[in-house]
Amino acid sequence: MSLNKFMHPRNRYKCKRPDFDALAKKYPEFQQHIIENEKGKPVLDFKNPDAVRVLTTCLLQEDYGLKIDLPPDRLVPTIPLRLNYIHWMEDITNDWGKKELFAIDIGTGVCCVYPILAISGNPWRFLATEADDMNFSYAVKNLEANKLTDRIKVVKVSENTILEGVIGNTEEAYDFCMCNPPFFADHFEAQGLVSRTPSRPDAKTMSTASPQEGIVQGGEIAFVRKMIDESNFLQDRVRVYSTMLGKKASLAPLKEILRRNKIENFASTEFCQGKTMRWGLAWTFDKTVKFPRSEFSQSKKEGKKSLVHVIPTEMGERRERVSDLVSFFKQVFSEFKIHCREGKQSGYFSLLTITAAENTWVHSRRKRRQMMRETTAAPTTATTDSGETPSHTASETAATHSNTAEEGMTAEVSAAKAVKVSIPSEKSDRLCENDVQGKDTQNTVTRTEVTATVSEVGENTRKSKRKADNERSEPSEELAAKRAKRSTKNQQDLSKGAKTTEDATPTGEDEKSCAVMQSSSEAEDHSPEKEEACEAKGKDRPPAQFVLKCHMCVRVQDADLAVELTWLGGENIQLMHQLMQIFKNKLAARKPA
């Protein structure tokens, strides 16, 4: 999959890819490396390091007016990928109210690629460091040949230091530093023999880095750990420290190191180009610095339209079958008046399409709230742990509790304060009957006592509650008109159903099950003909107007069973999240077989 759509929006190559035809006509050295692919299109052989080198020198000449000399046995910087990092630094520093920035490039390489690209679009200056003799002399030569020495100063450094030995004894302050560290711990890793799984196809490009450029003891994690240590000593001598990472797996341990060093203000991002992905990590000791949000993660989050819940091993060990689980879910559907149509099934999976005409799970909560109010109208005693009368009434307390637990949204529960509410045993029986218990709910209801938790719930929960409350207060015709409008939209969403599933960019296990889902024509077909055919066969027809429609896949996953919901349409995706939580709670509350 090409990642170009996630290239930085200002990357000049995002919409206008290098024109190989035009470059070949203008630069004879480039022409030599052009081959025709099977469709007769001129392409470059990216596995040939000479071809990659010539592409970089031609682009630097054509688009930046620079004459750069790149030696044959050193890393060739690819320009479009490098630009993403520079644009990220522009985004970070954009609102500082200062344009003329002074920055550091750690390990600048043979042509100071980051500084030369960065100063072409910004009034910045750079201090560039390099530990390798050959790289250093090429860097000096290239800067001189292009008259850039007044804005970029390159210094030869010892490889035992990263920043401390360079700026530790000076007074100068820098706005930011950037770095493309050696990624690998040894030759095996550098050749892709360690981290590349056998199932992955061969890399489309060859690394052109020499060992001194690509390999460092301990790999990139060790290099950046040292950088973090040194930053801890240098503190705000550099306002923002940053680095690129070659492996996603390095992000989590490095973030942990930052946390352990009590560096709380940090951010990561993705640099995407073609089929290549790199990661950026930045941190600061300055609390006023605000890091921009990563477009890539954001879009992945928004595009994620399926939820998977694996039923815990203890239950898997009961040798429960897919069909048992489906029967269980059918009871839940009937309790919540959710229409269910069965699709393909085997001993290993079962596909269902579920349609809810109304949000019965919120209604059940309302009913229970009402019941709680009635309950607390009777004399109750409510005390906090400290023995004080809580400022919340018992009914509010119980309602909040029920809201948090049962609505099952991903509410951020914080500042929890336990309040014990005594409820007459007869009433609590009624509560037990309907209550949804489970480990996720953290709620305990006994015959004689309800231990409720007064919680601050996250903004999401509040918003959705506000929306529900507004709807409740709307006149019924308005509500009906609104519902009808939504329903039309839902139908339109449905006609895009297959695409929605594709957009979900599933990974790993998700991918397998989605593939199964997409192959199920019955589950996908929502045409009126199909609905009528169902009716003719005596099958129940799904409601034409609905608040939620999704696919459900119950399947064997390793030793366990899993249930996956994939959004097809409805009021909002939050309803699917709520329903999944209801399922989780019901699953956790059922009695052992």
- Using CB under 6 A, list all residues that contact ligand SAM: 75, 77, 106-109, 113-114, 129-132, 135, 157, 159, 162, 180, 182, 209, 212-214
CB closer to ligand SAM, 138 vs 546:
138
Q: How far is the CB of 214 from ligand SAM (least distance, A)?
A: 6
Report whether 321 belongs to an annotated binding site: no
Comparison of 107 and 497: residue with beta carbon closer to ligand SAM:
107
In terms of CB distance, is 107 or 343 closer to ligand SAM? 107
Q: Are 354 and 549 in contact (CB under 8 A)?
A: yes
Which CB, 209 or 409, lies closer to ligand SAM? 209
User: Please, which residue, 127 or 340, has the CB nearer to ligand SAM?
Assistant: 127
Quick one: which of 175, 179, 155 has its CA closest to 166? 155
Q: Which is nearer to ligand SAM, 57 or 129 (CB)?
A: 129
Q: Is residue 130 annotated as involved in ligand binding?
A: yes
Taking the complex as a whole, the smallest distance from the CB of residue 135 to ligand SAM amounts, in Å, to 5
Angle between helices 573-589 and 322-335 (to 10 degrees): 110
Least distance between ligand SAM and beta carbon 109 (Å): 3
Contacts of 429-437 with CB under 8 Å at 24 or more apart are 430/371, 431/368, 431/371, 431/372, 431/375, 434/364, 434/367, 434/368, 435/368, 435/402, 435/406, 436/405, 436/406, 436/408, 436/582, 436/585, 436/586, 436/589, 437/585, 437/588, 437/589
Q: What is the DSSP letter of 291?
A: P
Amino acid occupying residue 522: E
The answer to whether 82 is annotated as binding is yes
Q: How far is the CB of 167 from ligand SAM (least distance, A)?
A: 12
Q: How many CA atoms lie within 13 Å of 216's alpha carbon, on the beta-carbon side?
A: 21
The answer to whether 126 touches 104, Cβ cutoff 8 Å, is yes
b/e for 111-150, b at 16 or more Cβ within 10 A?
A: bbbbbbbbbbebebbbbbbbbbeebbebbbebbeebebee
Q: Smallest distance, Å, CB 99 to ligand SAM?
A: 24
Residue of closest CB approach to ligand SAM? 107
Strands 560-570 and 306-311: antiparallel
Select 134 or 534, whichever has its Cβ closest to ligand SAM. Answer: 134
107 is in an annotated binding site: yes
Q: Which lies closer to ligand SAM via its Cβ, residue 71 or residue 316?
A: 71
For residue 272, the one-letter residue type is C
Angle between helices 459-473 and 394-407 (to 10 degrees): 110
Supply 404's token pair: 């948090």
**Nearest distance from residue 159's CB to ligand SAM, in Å?**
4
Which helix (H) or strand (E) covers residue 510, if one does? helix 508-519
Least distance in Å: CB of 161 to ligand SAM?
6
**Sheet architecture: strand order including 306-311:** 306-311, 560-570, 548-557, 349-356, 338-345
The position carrying tokens 């930052």 is 258
For the bound state, the minimum distance from the C-beta of residue 76 to ligand SAM, rounded and expressed in Å, comes to: 8
CA distance linking residue 583 with residue 593, whole number of Å: 17
- Please give the annotated binding residues for S-adenosyl-L-methionine, written as ranges: 82, 107, 130, 180
